[in-house]
Chains A and B, each alone.
Chain A
Amino acid sequence: MSKFKKKKSGGQPAISTASLPDIVFMLLFFFMVTTVMREVTLKVEVKTPKATEVNKLERKSLVSYIYIGAPIKSLQSQFGTADRIQLNDAFATEKDIIAFVESEREQTNPVEVPLMTFSMKVDKAAEMGIVTDVKQELRKANALKINYSTGKTDKIVD
């Protein structure tokens, strides 16, 4: 009877690859999620300290960042190891803070200017002297809402 072909003998049936794209997408998503994107290239090394009483920073568009810390390894030969201030993408001094505040304000909707927060991302090894200078300049610029960027932890150790 030739109507019924003899089943192929030997060899397993091929594995279905229909779900392969799904798996690939899943992996892709995973990597996309875990990747952290930065808006600025950091020229200073910033490892923020940890604290317990932290608030979340809301309204990201109203937050401007000031980075303080020692220059990164590759820039140390050029700029030394003393703590530096970084505004946007460049090193700055405390004299530039007022101009920085003004330019940030100009980019913001005038109605929302009072809600602006200046977040200080400071390395935990930095000295308070430079931080205080920045704070005094912020006061002069009337930017009084500030935030010390910290990670969250459950307990403070001595």
Chain B
Amino acid sequence: MARREAPEINAGSMADIAFLLLIFFLVTTTMDVDTGLTRKLPPPIEDTNEPPPEVKQRNVFQVLVNANDDLLVEGEVMLVSNLREEAKKFIIGDASDESMPEFKITEVPIFGRIPVSKQIVSLQNDRGTSYEMYIKVQNELVAAYNEVRDEYAKEKFGSTMKELEKKAELSKKAEEQLEAVKAVYPQRISEAEPKDKGGK
């Protein structure tokens, strides 16, 4: 009459279910790696009437992008694909050329006191510029700096910046080398307040 003991549930698949959940969470936490261009914004302007420091024309690499996504580099129309080369030439500089940026003797780790270019890249865009174009230009400018640094690091230390970065986690020396290269070619990308011409 009275039912005696219910049949036991087979728990053999419990392990499977547990593994399934485990793998599910493992996978979901590391999925879609977000990538992007990391930049640093300048700090907010204080309300002082101090004029901005004067920068000589020859030290500035002027990049303008208008609302039609046209690129004007140092007064000349240019394609995005040529921007990197031009920017690299400017960043490396040439002490004998009057139109190229000045050099200033600066204290740099490892190398000591050596001339460092006073280059500044100035980027100005219009409110109507498309974001895609802006990113392309940004990307090329960052790429120019990265390539210049890479070449320098290869010449001096025999490894690229990426390799140095990897080594820097383990050794103090590589970290110093990394800092040195960055100090020789400091990344100076200045963004001017955009003009409101072609925008809505």
A and B together in one complex: yes
Binding site for B on A (CB under 8 A): 21, 25, 28-29, 32-33, 36-37, 48-49, 51-57, 60, 63, 68, 82, 117, 119, 122-129, 131-132, 135, 138-140, 142-152, 156-158
* Partner of A148 from B40, B135, B194 at Cβ < 8 Å: B135
User: Does B43 have its Cβ within 8 Å of any Cβ on chain A?
Assistant: yes
Please give me the residue from chain A that is nearest to B196 by CB atom. A129
A156 to B137, CA, bound (A): 10
The dominant DSSP class at the B interface is mixed
Flag if B139 contacts A147 (CB, 8 Å). Answer: no
A152 to B13, CA, bound (A): 42
A111 to B53, CA, bound (A): 34
Contacts of B32 in A (CB 8 A): 36
Shortest A88–chain B CB gap in Å is 17
7 closest Cβ pairs, A-B complex? A129-B127, A124-B132, A51-B139, A57-B34, A54-B35, A149-B36, A128-B129
* Partner of B35 from A28, A37, A56, A140 at Cβ < 8 Å: A56
Contacts of A131 in B (CB 8 A): 131, 134
Tally the A-B contacts, defined by beta carbons under 8 Å. 146
Supply 10 further A-B pairs (C-beta < 8 A) apart from A55-B37, A128-B128.
A32-B24, A32-B27, A51-B138, A56-B34, A126-B131, A128-B125, A129-B128, A142-B44, A146-B40, A156-B139
Please give me the residue from chain A that is nearest to B83 by CB atom. A156
User: Does B23 have its Cβ within 8 Å of any Cβ on chain A?
Assistant: yes
Shortest B28–chain A CB gap in Å is 6
Shortest B174–chain A CB gap in Å is 19
| Given known contacts A21-B16, A36-B32, A55 and B131 CB-to-CB distance under 8 angstroms | no
Shortest B140–chain A CB gap in Å is 7
Contacts of A145 in B (CB 8 A): 38, 40-41
Contacts of A129 in B (CB 8 A): 127-128, 194, 196, 199-200
* Partner of B36 from A36, A57, A143 at Cβ < 8 Å: A57
The dominant DSSP class at the A interface is mixed
Flag if B132 contacts A125 (CB, 8 Å). Answer: yes
* Partner of A127 from B44, B81, B131, B142 at Cβ < 8 Å: B131
12 A-B contacts (beta carbon < 8 Å): A28-B20, A37-B28, A57-B35, A127-B127, A139-B44, A140-B44, A145-B40, A147-B38, A147-B39, A148-B37, A151-B35, A156-B139
Contacts of A156 in B (CB 8 A): 80-81, 136, 139-140
Contacts of B127 in A (CB 8 A): 127-129, 132
